[in-house]
Amino acid sequence: MDNCYQGTNVPDPIAAPCGGEYISTDCVAVPNAIPALDISAGATQTQVNSAITNALLAKEEQIEALSEVATSGTFNPNLLNGVNVSGVLDYSEAVYTKIGNIVTVTVGFESIKATSANTPTVFSMDLPIVKSFALPIARGSGTLKNIITPSAIHSVNVATSSVSKADISFYPTQAGTDYIGSITFQYSV
């Protein structure tokens, strides 16, 4: 009997139809090499099946490993008044994503009031995943706007401090009014 592909004799055919013919799992199924699956030229169907099974198992293990590495969620940061902050600090949403050892944080703020206009204003918040830093390092940015003058957008800088907190700073143009907006920053754990 001939192989379905190569015209060679097939040893020990099994009772499985292949286009109306019987084939063997030892017949040559791949005339050319497939390096991505580590299949050499002339591989048998059994070798091809084994290579594909191993590739699928390896991919499944990679997906499981990534699933264990990636986490995300919401958190409730403790907001602390710092320099030139009056009133209550409030946020609308605080979320994080951790992939590997990189944490990305986004926080939406609803109420930040400055005591004085055109003065550096700083407040801090807890990090979702605790990390102590040796030195303050710039980590991200964002924007805040005054609800009285929505067209006035203020840039925000985010730095991590040595006490597992993020320090948020901006320069408000008005005192005593609410500023709203969001920040995004990253740090490694």
Confidence at 97, pLDDT banded by 50, 70, 90:
very high
pLDDT of res. 150: 76
The pTM assigned to this predicted structure is 0.62
Q: Which fold has domain 72-188?
A: Adenovirus Type 5 Fiber Protein (Receptor Binding Domain) (2.60.90)
DSSP string, the chain: -B-TTT--BPSS--S-EETTEE--TTSEEESS-BGGGTB-TTEEHHHHHHHHHHHHHHHHHHHHHHHHH-EEEE--PPEEEEESEEEEEEEEEEEEEEETTEEEEEEEEEEEEESSTTS-EEEEEE-SS----SS-EEEEEEEEEESSSTT-EEEEEEEE-TTSEEEEEE--SSSSSEEEEEEEEEEE-
Mean pLDDT of 9-38: 56
Kindly tell me if the per-residue pLDDT of 185 is higher than 80: yes
pLDDT > 90: what percent of the chain? 13
Specify the domain boundaries for CATH 2.60.90.40 within the chain.
72-188
Looking at residue 43, its pLDDT comes to: 79
Higher-scoring residue by pLDDT: 11, 66: 66
